Amino acid sequence: MKVATAPPRVGFENVLVATDLSPLSGLALRWAKAIARRYGSELYVTHVISPAETALIPPEYWGSSQEVLEEAATREMEVLDANLQDVPHKTLLQHGGIWESLAADIERFGIDLVVMGTHGREGFSRLVMGSVAEEVFRRAGCPVLTVGPKVTAPLIGGPGFEQIVFATHFGPESLAAAPYAIALAQEFETKLTLLHVMNEDDFDLPADPQVLLQNRMERLHKITPSDVELSRKPECLVEFGKAAEVILNVAAERNANLIVLGAKPTRHIDAATHLSSDTIHRVVSSATCPVLTIRG
């Protein structure tokens, strides 16, 4: 396993907020605004009117429906614009596929961070919101901060990342995510917990359980480069159970303000070396703090 190399500082110069104009998207915008103030970022707030919004409307009413959607969205975006006068920003109202529009914005504006909310509900809403959020954090070339339905507002004056939990299954995407967790711990002089969750499949390997446990602990310690100085020594934890449940429990026990995860770029995930799609969705939708995902 390679040792992750931490950048000297995390910088978010251009932050993109994807909003569906719901209250939860409003909370995501508050987090993005707090981050923009902390880093002096340019904030881009985009709402995409997608074909899915009129999919169930008879074709003869498409024209009038689009006009109503456009007028309502324009009014909402004007309100957002007025509430963002204290930070450098641009508001964007677009039409088309959500991911396609966001991908174009990421490239056009040199986006360093995408912030978005997800409803985390089951059924149709889960399929819509969950698939959109997952498509973004599995395809975006920059980190994605997801704000779920149980997240509270950021502290006034900053994002307040005082406790960070980084969960890894030692897949290659962890090498991309670990430097962000480490650098943010440096930046905020915060406590960093490095977590690995073992399950039944791990013990199918032809190795003594104690040796296997020791091996995983050693790999956790190697995640932090020896030349990186942190104000507080990272805590390394190897736990047993279902990954999402353990990650959420550890984050709750430590009152974490941020969870950092690596996300594999495709849906074809080897459970032995990667956090599964279902695991990441459960963490994002149930965490009481934002979740930062970085594509491997």
Per-domain residue ranges of the chain: 14-147, 163-295
Contact 181, 4 (CB under 8 A): no
- Beta-bridged to residue 121, according to DSSP, are none
pLDDT score, position 272: 43
CATH number 3.40.50.620 is the correct assignment for the domain at 163-295: yes
Listed residue (256, 269, 259, 237) closest to 173, CA to CA: 269
**248: its two tokens:** 């959420």
Contact 165, 258 (CB under 8 A): yes
Percent with pLDDT over 70 in the chain? 79
- pLDDT tens profile 218-228: 999 999 888 88
pLDDT score, position 64: 57
In this structure, what are the phi and psi dihedrals at residue 137, rounded to the nearest 5 degrees? Answer: -75, -10
State the average pLDDT over residues 39-63: 71
pLDDT score, position 70: 83
State the average pLDDT over residues 162-188: 90
pLDDT score, position 137: 82
d(CA 223, CA 194): 8
In Å, how far are 36, 96, 108, 147, 284 from 258, measured between CA atoms?
17, 32, 28, 10, 11
Listed residue (248, 239, 234, 233) closest to 216, CA to CA: 239
Listed residue (166, 159, 155) closest to 187, CA to CA: 159
CATH code, residues 14-147: 3.40.50.620
Tell me the whole-structure pTM to 2 decimals. Answer: 0.86
Domains 14-147 and 163-295 share a fold: yes
Q: Which residue has the tokens 């670990």?
A: 178
State the average pLDDT over residues 12-17: 95
d(CA 15, CA 88): 11
d(CA 79, CA 207): 60
Q: Is the pLDDT of residue 139 over 70?
A: yes
Listed residue (146, 230, 233, 225) closest to 187, CA to CA: 230
- pLDDT tens profile 255-296: 999 999 998 775 444 444 456 667 888 898 899 999 999 986
d(CA 233, CA 27): 32
pLDDT score, position 114: 96
pLDDT score, position 146: 92
pLDDT score, position 159: 74
Contact 114, 18 (CB under 8 A): yes
Beta strand segments in 72-168, E: 89-95, 113-117, 144-147, 163-167
Q: Is the pLDDT of residue 144 over 90?
A: yes
pLDDT score, position 266: 55
Question: What is the residue-averaged pLDDT of the chain?
Answer: 82
- pLDDT tens profile 111-136: 999 999 886 544 333 334 456 777 88
Q: Is the pLDDT of residue 203 over 70?
A: no
- pLDDT tens profile 55-70: 445 454 455 566 777 8
